[in-house]
Structure 1
Amino acid sequence: MKKHNFRNLKIYQRAIDFAVEVYKLSRSFPKDEIFGLTNQVRRAVTSISLNIAEGSGNKSEKEFQIFLEIALRSGYEVMTCLEIALRLDYCDKKNYDLLIKEADEIAAMIVGFSKSLCSDI
């Protein structure tokens, strides 16, 4: 297996930047959401970069792909949390659209990277 330094992976960097933006947004959620939506969206968004990092340390490309799949699912979870936040008026449509666009792009990058690993197997 080709070793990947996760810090050098563009998907990892984008996922970290995305997490920072989601954290900033979630600061404005109501205080009574601290153990609800705030906690859920923060755990999901950090899971993206954490799984990319953890997966990069595996011994096989196939194992790395499993962690990328988890990262992808976490991204979908973030998108759902953002939609709930929008519907509850915890964020405006402009911020929502920007974050969803970024989430979609990261998801596409994860899928593309995973496919490239598959071709290396």
Structure 2
Amino acid sequence: MLSSQIQRAADSIALNIAEGSTGQSTPEFKRFLGYSIRSAIEVVSCLYLGKKRNIINEDDFSRLYKAYEGLVINIQALKNSI
């Protein structure tokens, strides 16, 4: 089900950041941040599928897309800063 896939990918964002930040080396933390970015992009892909299947309306899609776009930008900025 698409909703459970979105939930797993969304959870994975926070879980990878948490796992990578706990006593890991800088390269290892960056690797986990990369996983988080990929999970966020997975959520966006699922949003597109939901929109295409008429599960997600245009307003919700736009709101969520913007939120995840900002999240990806912020995680990438963090990754670049360390």
Decide which structure has the larger Cα Rg and report it. 1
In 2, Cα distance between equivalents of 1:41 and 1:115: 26
**Residue aligning to 2:39:** 74
Give 2:49's match in structure 1, choosing from 68, 71, 84.
84
**Residue aligning to 1:56:** 21
Alignment gaps of 5+ in structure 2: none
Identity of aligned residues (%): 34
- Calculate the aligned-residue CA RMSD, in Å: 0.8
Alignment gaps of 5+ in structure 1: 1-35
Give 2:63's match in structure 1, choosing from 98, 102, 106.
98
Deviation at 1:91, TM superposition (A): 1.3
The number of aligned residues is: 82
Q: Which amino acid aligns with 2:80?
A: K
Name which of structure 1's ranges 67-76 and 38-47 shifts more when overlaid on structure 2. 38-47
Deviation at 1:58, TM superposition (A): 3.2
Deviation at 1:59, TM superposition (A): 2.7
